[in-house]
Copies of this chain bind each other. A is one copy, B any other.
């Protein structure tokens, strides 16, 4: 309604400049692990009904296709194996295993300053997915993703304040051998960032070597087990209500190796899960509860993330869609279920159906990201860089996602209400005794950093300034920042001796 104010006096400008220096941790306006939960799409009674329905599904329908080892583990704990081969779980068994489950999980970074406390409704954003394409922004084109692309994504994520972890977002398609791909994926991610890394194994037989690599990176098995900085993103079910036999075997190996697991149930609402939001949540919750039984029957309290991860579907085409309002509700409703169980949880948020980082991508990524945060989702996976309904990853979009998530985190932080922020004294001073405005007050300037998230690439200039600066383009600036990051020395690189030891043992595709 009002035009921007004219320029301030030199005195204020100088004070403002003195406050615009780099932020110390205590006055950062947003940080990892802020507490959400003020958006509650479900009433308490609805949460209870979803829980009760999931228990009925486990008791009456159960899950097929558990591996032999899993059947032994779960029937020993009290699960019933039916003549139809399905494992069924009584409500009492589920409740017993919930009581043993790991709570207040901290996911470690290789650098402890990136540790993530997943207790309560603390919110973290990071990458994830299995994109098979890289988005070439300048060329408006898709090409196959490579291990170098993956490593570059890790390096970029490493320096972005609002990207809190790096789960493998894309597949290294230039490595055709799956074993080598899995090992090089770990290398490419960990060599690019000391934030927590999530990864997958395409076959149970790859886990042992993966652990061997992680021991080398950590400086020994004890150091690895003390602070496991890589978790296993594990699609342990094939919805609806079937275990993924081989993935379960992978999970067992990871548990034995001390690796936290993400119990990932990725149904598609309308295809592999009911089309209704409530129904898709019920099924995902039932499947993840089966995972809780599995994990805790095998190793009580093993770190596991409750990964109810239902996706939307465009029923006109049968294609997955991740950027819709329905998707935002799916993930937000799941977050409420995680809080109900008091378990660390994760789901998808922040991915786009758009092929490019355009306006559609912006609205889709914000819708799911901000609602996931407001609902208190512990781990928002696929929060930046994901396009084409998860088929494409984009470095520029990852960088812009840092800005976007910064604003979402500001919303999660919420509104502080106390005598100082209510500002009655300040109003009195300004209106009755003062200059009639709040621009120069100590209260305003003293809070300008800790209260406000300023975009790095988002542009707030007036049309006049924008024209004078030759109309800066958001994507061109994102590409420039990408180049600056990738042209600088990586802070996450392994020390030379470790790197040499790894390369002597494994065929590492990235150049030394």
* A interface residues with partner B (beta carbon < 8 Å): 1-8, 16, 20, 38-42, 46, 49-50, 53, 56-57, 60-61, 64, 84, 129-130, 132-133, 140, 142, 235, 240-241, 264, 266, 268, 270-279, 281-283, 309, 311, 314-321, 323-326, 328-329, 333, 353-355, 357-367, 370-371, 374, 388-392, 397, 400, 403-404, 406-411, 413-418, 420-424, 426-428, 430-432, 436-439, 441, 443-445, 447-448, 451-455, 457-463, 466-467, 471, 474-475
Contact = CB atoms under 8 A, between A and B. Distances in A.
Contacts of A388: 462-463, 466
A426 B4 contact: no
A4 B272 CA distance: 12
Given A273-B438, A328-B370, 17 more contacts: A1-B130, A1-B264, A2-B311, A4-B319, A38-B40, A84-B432, A241-B431, A274-B443, A275-B444, A277-B416, A278-B421, A324-B407, A358-B359, A360-B474, A362-B363, A362-B366, A364-B366
Contacts of A311: 1-2
Contact of A272 (B40, B282, B438): B438
Contact of A427 (B38, B240, B329): B240
Contact of A362 (B235, B318, B358): B358
A424 B1 contact: no
Contacts of A235: 1
Nearest to A405: B363
Interface core residue of A46, A404, A407 (most chain B CB under 10 Å)? A407
Nearest to A84: B432
Nearest to A472: B355
A235 B2 CA distance: 11
Nearest to A370: B367
A29 B510 CA distance: 50
A276 B362 contact: no
Contacts of A1: 129-130, 235, 264, 266, 309, 311, 390
A279 B423 contact: yes
A46 B374 CA distance: 18
Contacts of A268: 2, 5
Contacts of A404: 363
Taking each of A5, A282, A323, A457, which has the highest tally of chain B beta carbons within 10 Å of its own beta carbon? A5
Given A460-B321, A474-B360, A16 B240 contact: no
Nearest to A17: B316
A321 B461 CA distance: 9
Contact of A448 (B42, B272, B275): B275
The listed residue with most B CB atoms (<10 A of its CB), out of A1, A142, A408, is: A1
Contacts of A5: 268, 271, 318-320
Contacts of A142: 463, 467
A283 B428 CA distance: 11
Q: Which 7 pairs of residues, A with B, have the shortest CB-CB distance?
A: A362-B362, A325-B410, A279-B423, A4-B319, A274-B423, A362-B363, A363-B366
A415 B41 contact: yes
Contacts of A353: 458-460
B283 A474 contact: no
Contacts of A406: 325
A357 B361 CA distance: 11
Contact of A271 (B309, B437, B461, B471): B437
Contacts of A333: 415
A451 B275 contact: yes
Nearest to A56: B424
Contacts of A64: 431
